[in-house]
Amino acid sequence: MSIWGKLFTAMRGGVNEAAESVADSQAMRILDQELRDADTALRKARSDLAGMMATAKRIEKRIEDNRAKEDRDIQNARAAMEAGREDLARGLADRISTGRTELVRDEADLATMQQQQQAMIRTVRETEQRIAAMKREVESVKATASLQRAQKTIASTHAGVNSRMGSAVGSLERIRDRQAQLAARLEAGEELAALENGADLDQQLLEAGISGRTSSADDILAEISGPPVRKALPGK
């Protein structure tokens, strides 16, 4: 593969990675929104379930009331028959018949509603469990992503610190080299200056006791206490 082909492949790979990264970030946003929508739907389902349970409670109460009413009507009908009031007993019998028809309908409605209620309770519980599991997965993915970003930052910072430390050590070595070079140049300059004005040679003669006259304190006192020494004039 030519260098241009390799470069194109690398560029295409980078584009794919960038596209996947964008898609992943969008997927997380979409998933968060879907979880929020699921929570909203779940709250609505709970509200509907609560309404259904309230309706079932009302039907149960009506059934209990109708059964109690039927018991009273039966007792009253018997009393009417015993009292020779067949007309009252028949009226009560008609009302008992109508009540029983309503009671059968209410019991059928209640049975159907209770079945739906149980199915809805199971659905709500399963939905709650799935949403909770999905939330845990999302939190785990987000926590892992945050941890990996932190690790990446730490690794990058560590590499930068190592690079800067290496650069600082190199700079320190260069500074020491320059200082050593400067010290050597200063020392060489002093030696050259001494050679130029003869101070170096005089110092060497003085150290050898050849050139120059040195006087100690005793020599100077002897000179002062002795007779004056006349210096010979030139030409004399």
Residues whose CB is less than 8 angstroms from the CB of residue 231 and which lie 6 or more positions away in sequence, other chains included = none
Neighbours of 77 (CB within 10 A): 20
CA separation for the pair 55, 113 (Å, rounded): 9
Position of tokens 């149980």?
118
CA separation for the pair 172, 177 (Å, rounded): 9
CA separation for the pair 218, 25 (Å, rounded): 101
pLDDT of residue 65: 93
Mean pLDDT of the residues in the chain: 77
What does each of the 236 residues of the chain score in pLDDT, given as a tens digit? 444 454 445 445 544 555 566 666 677 788 888 888 888 988 998 999 999 999 999 999 999 999 999 999 999 999 999 988 999 999 999 999 999 999 999 999 999 999 999 999 998 899 889 888 888 888 888 888 888 888 877 777 666 666 666 666 677 777 788 788 877 777 777 666 655 555 566 666 666 665 555 556 666 667 667 666 555 544 44
CA separation for the pair 134, 140 (Å, rounded): 10
Closest CA to 212 of 231, 223, 198, 224: 198
- Count the helix, strand and coil residues of the chain and give each as a percent rounded to the nearest 5: 90, 0, 10
CA separation for the pair 91, 98 (Å, rounded): 11
